[in-house]
Structure 1
Amino acid sequence: MSEDENWRPVVPTRREDVLSEKFQPYLREAIFPWLAKQARVERGWVYADFFVEFQNSYRNSMGFHSGGYHDWKNKVLPFLRKLNDKDLTNLIDFGLSRSRYRRGNDELESALSNGGSAWTIMPWGTSANRLARRVAPGVMDTVRPVLSAQDSASIKLQEAWQDAYGVDPRASTAFFHAVVAVEIAALSVIEVGTDEPTMANLFSILESSKPKWQLVFRDNEKAPGGKTLAAMLRTLWRGHGSRHGSADYKDATLEEARAALILASTLVQWFTTGVVIKADD
């Protein structure tokens, strides 16, 4: 067993592999020490400023008044223990968005992971984090590097991930941001010679009889790199049915948006790490 693997009960409880979006009492108690640091509890007392700012951003009064000074153990903790899951989820997400030191959130991630939470921590912007729904570990290991990068495409991809897996999913918006992220990454590598390039301009370049771009893999006439890349881009672009209005318009589903996001993550990673290269003359 690796040192990083979570402890599991020697006598199974049938809860070991169950993930929940709810914050059970045992998980809340494990999270409160991290939350106390975000609220800047000192010697058992805390100013209401953190909670006042949250309820203002949340646009929902929770009873905190500006300038107040509260007993953390006897007043704030009992309040947090009774807070509904929706409000607590948003409060934690708010705390993460304000945090400017990502390593300081390892304590929260450990509590979420050990407590079987369906929530995990994902990068947001240049230094903060947000809550997002947990995906399979193998998928997360693949996408986390590109989501943690600071180039424009990766930051746009973070927006897409938050819209697909965050606290308040917006499928059509997630799909849109995923496409834009790929456009940024692709057009930063491949020049198309137009003033206002889009992904559609890439197809003729990549699908020509002698494309000037290929993948780092060994090229083969049965699976030419340029055309394979074009097919992946076209799948994402054509699959984005909610990009234009029409009489039969439909919003993207979460399943569509999340599938598009995984494809987009691969494409952004390829364009930003040198997998897409110029073909030999």
Structure 2
Amino acid sequence: MRFLRVQGGYFLNESLVAKWDVAMRNDPPHRDDWSQGDAAAHYWEWLDEEQQLAFLDWLVYELSHTDGGWQHKRDLEEILHAGGSEWKVGDRGGNPGLEKRVPQGVADAVDAVIANSATAGALLSEAWHAAFGRNPDPEEAYEKAIKAVEEAGAELVLPMNPKATLGTMIAAVRDQGDWRLPLESASAVGAPLEMMKSLWEGQESRHGGNGYRKPTPAEAEAAVLLAVPLVQFFTAGLLARPTPPVATE
């Protein structure tokens, strides 16, 4: 099958197919009748759509740990892009695998924030993978999105409170009243404060009893995309209080 071909042959070879079979306990039919050159094509056609996606997700991880794997991952990404797939080859925070395709500018911005935000970036990477990865976990994604913002901003907003949450951060930013983005606007804090409130109040899984509800995939994706600029605002010092004037004698 042409989908599995790359320059110089197949990147799905017998050893990879066998390794996947062992991991998934698969038993492809007529395996003994396949020739070495056609094994990949036969195998791909034997899988259903869900198995194909699972196989590709696993394959991206395997290729990340082989010599020349970067080239094969690039080839696979070109094939997925050319075919208009909703999936792409992703690799954030050491988590290689398939993830949902977002506009390239958004992906680049997320990569930059993750790379430059230390622990908050690591949490944001985990949130992104849980929201957009092949096996999404909306509850995990939403929780890690909030934790990323807390890690980025809690010590700045409430330096004397080691147990600060996004909820207490919101109250402090509102009550302190002098947090600003570097914009010529008296209400320059309004947008990020509303983003923080939306992120915090939208997590219904924080509540016990009758108020408990897991977030939907769409809610988790929105939460992660809200967290990205908030982490950037704090870690880059864009959302800040005015520096007190230096006392002079």
User: Which bin holds the TM-score, normalised by the shorter protein?
Assistant: 0.7 to 0.9
Report which stretch shifted further, 100-109 or 259-268. 100-109
Asked whether 1:240 is paired with 2:238, we answer no
Correspondence for 1:171: 138
Unaligned runs of 5+ in 1: 1-27, 65-69
Shift in CA distance, 30/166, structure 1 to aligned 2, threshold 3 Å: same
**1:6 corresponding residue in structure 2:** none
Pair 1:185 & 2:152 matched? yes
Query: Could you report, residue by residue, the CA deviation over 1:43-99 in whole angstroms, capped at 9, with x for unpaired residues?
Result: xxx43xx44554555xx31138xxxxx954133431123221211211211122241
**8 Å CA contact retained: 2:157, 2:173:** no
Mind listing any 5+ residue stretches in structure 2 that lack a counterpart? 29-33, 245-249
Query: Identity of counterpart residues, as a percentage?
Result: 25
**Structure 1 contact 120–133 (Cα < 8 Å) conserved:** yes
AA aligned to 1:109 is E
Q: Is the 8 A contact 2:114 2:120 kept in 1?
A: no
Q: Deviations over 1:18-52 (max 9, x none)?
A: xxxxxxxxxx6234439954x6x5xxxx43xx445
Structure 2 partner of 1:94: 58
Q: Is the 8 A contact 1:93 1:130 kept in 2?
A: yes
Aligned-residue RMSD, C-alpha: 3.1
- Matched residue, 1:109: 77
Secondary structure (helix, strand or coil) at the match of 1:73 reads coil
What is the alpha-carbon distance in structure 2 between the residues aligned to residue 185 and residue 142 of structure 1? 17
Q: CA deviation at 1:203?
A: 2.3
- C-alpha change, 1:54 and 1:192, in structure 2 (3 Å) is farther
SS of the residue aligned with 1:216? coil
Aligned length: 235
Q: Distance in 2 between matches of 1:180 and 1:102?
A: 33
Mark the CA change 1:106 to 1:217 in structure 2 (over 3 Å): closer, same or farther.
Answer: farther
TM-score after normalising by structure 1: 0.70
Within-5 A mapping of 1:100-249: 100=65, 103-104=70-71, 105-126=73-94, 128-147=95-114, 151-187=118-154, 189-211=156-178, 213-218=179-184, 220-221=185-186, 223-225=187-189, 227-249=190-212
